[in-house]
A and B are shown apart, each in its own frame.
Chain A
Amino acid sequence: MKPAAFKATPQLSTAESQALLKVIGGVTLTPSRRASLKASAMKASVAFSRPLKMNAA
């Protein structure tokens, strides 16, 4: 039997949890980051709607 291609993330250890919270604890989504994510989403949407040059579909 093949091994699983990926695993869900297991519960973090205390050290890992503390390290994570040191980085993201208290951080909120700023308007500029929100705009940046929106722009990236738009680029992805455009890429999904572009016709393929080759006969892939």
Chain B
Amino acid sequence: MIDKLKNFYDKRKTIILLVLLAAAIALPFLIDKGSVMSIIVRILFYVILASSLNIINGYSGQFNIGHAGFVLIGSYTLSILAHMNWPVWLLFLVAGVVTSLVGFLVSLPTLRLRGIYLALVTLGFSEILRLVALNWTSLTGGPMGIKGIPTPWFFGLRASSPHNYYFIVLLFVILCLFTSHRVINSKVGRAWMSIREDDHAAMSLGVNIAKYKSINFMFGAFWAGVGGALMAPFYTFIDSSMFSLDEGFNILSMVIIGGQGTLIGPVVGSVVVNLTTELFRFANEARLLIYAIMIISMMWLRPQGLAGTSRSVIANRSLGRDRGAFFRKLFKKKEVK
């Protein structure tokens, strides 16, 4: 059934996208409760975060479970510089760039590593960043965090309410998805996917693994940083406990549930996970049990995620089907030297 939806989408792409865009812009005018709007804004935040993680995990096959660390850098960069009176609009970009540099640094020692070793290093970095933020009180406020983060001006209005802030976040979500889409369908994206499928084969075909792995980390980190930067003014307060390992797992679960390696996967994942936790709010402790069961069930029933198709490599791998065909098709566009 999901395959049928995909077919439907492929044929009417432009119209569907325009309609969705119109609906997205109209949404704040249809909903008048700020509390509902802030849930929607939160969903959008996680769309960016999950997409950025998806770039790394889903497209290049590198296993990053320390994504919270990148989000942390973005959030703190914006918050610290905003208190030094830098303009907030600019800071979204600056935060992304700074995080991207950190992403580059993290990628350096990991270029030779794969699988669980890579995952552990990313985890280690994420925790180190969090603990440094917790302890470096003079810079980050330590356990007291940073409060009073200002919101940006938006056509002469302070964008502090969920209804107004929504538009800023929506803008960045569209930018994120758009740029991701372009990059994935470019030479860079194809290089990533070849690394994901079989990096030895890719190397033998002349793909510079190190360079593309780094670019991949930098791109994913950039958007994670932007996402983190967007969150800070909305909540007006950040501290290191917001970027724990559990938060990283939270983002990871959205990517997995939504579907790795597809553009719409993180969107679906963010919506599903955030809506579920909201709907089950009344259950208190049981809410997390339900979340856990949801994750386990997804892995049992549909490991490629909700938006992953059964033509996906992941589904095939878990069923043992031939992936050679996929790989060959991938390389039809690339020159074989």
Chain A complexes with chain B: no
Chain B contact residues, CB within 8 Å of chain A: none
